[in-house]
Amino acid sequence: MMQGQQDNFGQTPSQTVGPYFAYGLTAVQYGYDFDQPFDTVLASDDARGMRIRLQGRVLDGEGVPIPDALVEISQADGQGRYPRNVYEASSMGFLGFGRCGTGTDPGSRYTFDTVKPGPQAEGEAPHIDMILSMRGLLLHVFTRVYFDDESDANAQDAVLNSVPAARRHSLVARRDVRGGNVIYRFDVHMQGPYETVFFDL
């Protein structure tokens, strides 16, 4: 190596985790002809539990919807069970995992059609785990979605109650009913005064 050559190179720049994950991991949603093992529908007609839709937006610090986020969710079925393999997923009619990009909806919303999860253990409220990736993030972030019509269970949940009381509302989806369909609305605020609580996992 020539003397001084190493001084010509700076540190390799960091790479953010988006926006390409949305296109690559939800290829069918974006109109690409590639296999996509998970999408926005987690439950078939055979799945146990009340049918729900989880819908919302991912918002930046100014409250502007982010059009190229990737939202992933993981949850139990209505009986609090996760499928342990593809065979159980098939027999349960329930995948337990879903992916949605925010770039194909006119309002930059994500939407999942699933079942309302049951509690997985005593003292644990029904919830959905959520992972978000997008441009500007060096690592994906984790949060949880609880339900506003589960106030008794929420009051007993150890994870939710580890969050300061003034911020717990940022983890609670709001129930709405449209045309007989139950929709839970959950906007994720990435930063700013309404920032959603994220967990360090």
In a domain, 9, yes or no: no
Strand pairing class (128-133; 141-147): antiparallel
How many domains would you assign to the chain? 1
- What pLDDT is stored for residue 137 in this prediction? 84
Tell me the pLDDT band of 30, cut-offs 50, 70 and 90. confident
Query: Cα–Cα distance between 2 and 129 in angstroms, integer?
Result: 52
Average the pLDDT over 66-83 and give the result.
Answer: 95
- What pLDDT is stored for residue 20 in this prediction? 62
Query: 189: which 2 tokens?
Result: 């605020």
In a domain, 5, yes or no: no
The lowest-confidence range among 3-7, 48-52, 133-137 is 3-7
In a domain, 112, yes or no: yes
The CATH number linked to 74 is 2.60.130.10
| Interval 139-166: pLDDT, tens | 899 999 999 999 999 999 999 999 999 9
| φ/ψ (deg, to 5) at 179 | 60, 35
Q: Is it the case that residue 3 has pLDDT exceeding 60? A: no
In a domain, 59, yes or no: yes
In a domain, 100, yes or no: yes
- What pLDDT is stored for residue 72 in this prediction? 96
Cβ atoms within 10 Å of 34's Cβ, excluding its own: 11
Q: Is it the case that residue 90 has pLDDT exceeding 80? A: yes
In a domain, 8, yes or no: no
Q: Look up the pTM and report it.
A: 0.87
Torsion of CA 156, 158, 160, 161, to 10 degrees: 80
In a domain, 79, yes or no: yes
In a domain, 199, yes or no: no
**136 is in which domain, residue-wise?**
14-189
- What pLDDT is stored for residue 1 in this prediction? 46
| Interval 96-146: pLDDT, tens | 999 999 988 999 999 999 999 999 999 999 999 999 998 888 889 999 999
